[in-house]
Structure 1
Amino acid sequence: MDLYRANWADDGQQRWPTVLASNSLYLIVLVLMVSISSIVFSILGPANMNTEKWLVVTLGMEIIVIGVPPLLYLMGSRMDIKRVARINRVRGVELLLVLGMAVFGYAIVGFINMVWYSILSRIGNPVEPVLPPIRTSRQYIMAIIAMALTPALVEEFLFRGVILRGYERFGIWTAMVVSGVLFGVLHLNLVNLPAIIFLGVMISYVVIRTNSLFAGMFYHFVQNFLSISFLFLQEVAQRYLRDGMAVPENVEQMPPELLAAALTVWGIIAFFCLGLFIACLASFNRVTYGKESIRTLMVDETKALSLKDMLPAIAAIIIVIVYLGIEVFTMIKSVQ
Structure 2
Amino acid sequence: MNTYGKLTVRGANWLFFIVLVLQFGVSFAGILGVQIYSAVTGRELSEDTLLNILLVGTQLFSVVIPAMLYLMLKGISVRETIRFKTIKLLHVVLIAIMGIAGQFIAQILNLPILLLLSLLGEIPPSPIPIPHTLDGFIISLAIIAVTPAICEEILMRGIVMRAYEIRGTKTGLIISALLFGIIHGDIKNLIAPIFFGLIFGYFVLRTGSILAGMLGHLANNAFAVFLGYLQENYLVQLPFLESDLFFFLSFVVAVLIFIPAFILFRKTTSIEEKAPIAGMKQDLKAAFLNIPMIFTMVLYLILQVFAIMEIVNGLPL
Check 1:14–1:316 CA distance in 2 against 1; reply closer, same or farther (3 A cut): closer
Q: Which is greater in Rg?
A: 1
How do 1:1-336 and structure 2 match up within 5 A? 15-41=5-31, 44=34, 48-238=45-235, 262=244, 265-289=246-270, 291-292=271-272, 310-334=290-314
Contact 1:16 1:166 in 2 (8 A): no
Contact 2:64 2:151 in 1 (8 A): yes
Q: TM-score, normalised by structure 1?
A: 0.80
Q: TM-score, normalised by structure 2?
A: 0.84
Measured in 1, the distance between the counterparts of 2:145 and 2:62 equals 16
Contact 2:67 2:154 in 1 (8 A): yes
1:100: how far off?
1.8
Measured in 2, the distance between the counterparts of 1:292 and 1:265 equals 40
Measured in 1, the distance between the counterparts of 2:189 and 2:117 equals 11
Equivalent pairs counted in the alignment come to 302
1:273: how far off?
2.1
Aligned residue for 1:106, secondary structure, equals helix
Check 1:307–1:99 CA distance in 2 against 1; reply closer, same or farther (3 A cut): closer
Contact 1:111 1:266 in 2 (8 A): no
Q: Which runs of 5+ in 1 are unaligned?
A: 1-8, 249-260, 298-304
Aligned residue for 1:188, secondary structure, equals coil
Between 1:181-190 and 1:270-279, the stretch displaced more is: 270-279
1:35: how far off?
2.5
1:210: how far off?
0.8
Residue 229 of structure 2 aligns to which amino acid in structure 1?
F
Contact 2:6 2:74 in 1 (8 A): no
Q: Which runs of 5+ in 2 are unaligned?
A: 39-43, 278-284
Measured in 2, the distance between the counterparts of 1:31 and 1:245 equals 41
Check 1:81–1:333 CA distance in 2 against 1; reply closer, same or farther (3 A cut): same
1:84: how far off?
0.7
Q: 1:211-249 CA deviation, whole Å, 9 max, x = no partner?
A: 1000000000001001111121123215x66xx98987x
Partner of 2:280: none
Contact 1:16 1:165 in 2 (8 A): no
RMSD over aligned Cα, in angstroms? 3.1
Aligned residue for 2:234, secondary structure, equals helix
1:117: how far off?
1.9
Measured in 1, the distance between the counterparts of 2:250 and 2:132 equals 27
Measured in 2, the distance between the counterparts of 1:157 and 1:309 equals 24
1:167: how far off?
0.8
Q: 1:307-330 CA deviation, whole Å, 9 max, x = no partner?
A: 998210110110000001111122
1:203: how far off?
0.6
Measured in 2, the distance between the counterparts of 1:116 and 1:270 equals 18
Residue 138 of structure 2 aligns to which amino acid in structure 1?
I
Contact 1:184 1:200 in 2 (8 A): yes
Residue 99 of structure 1 aligns to which amino acid in structure 2?
A
